[in-house]
Amino acid sequence: MRRGRDPLVWSAAALILLTFGLPFAKPLFAALFPQLERPLYQADPFWLLLLQHLAWSPPPALPPRASGLVRRFL
């Protein structure tokens, strides 16, 4: 399978784009939800939340060593 057609590459790229790009979408969410004071989560950065989720619920395909490495950084 060619690299450009691999779903893993596209999924990883989308996850990275959304993780680091979502804070810049605040005006979009403010327009979509004008009744909310804070339409976007602002307490912690999204990359930190992603790391915490990966540490607590690693995918089944992730070897135990990799999940231990993620937990070590938190």
Per residue in 26-58, pLDDT (tens digit) is 899 899 999 998 888 888 888 888 888 877 765
Q: How far apart are the first and last CA of the chain?
A: 35
- Report pTM: 0.57
Using alpha carbons, select from 50, 55, 57, 59 the residue that is nearest to residue 19: 50
**Distance, CA of 58 to CA of 38 (rounded, Å):** 30
Domain boundaries, the chain: 3-72
Residue showing tokens 């596209």: 10
| Higher pLDDT pick, 68 / 28 | 28
Q: Which amino acid is at 62?
A: L
CA neighbours closer than 13 Å in the CB half-sphere of residue 4: 0
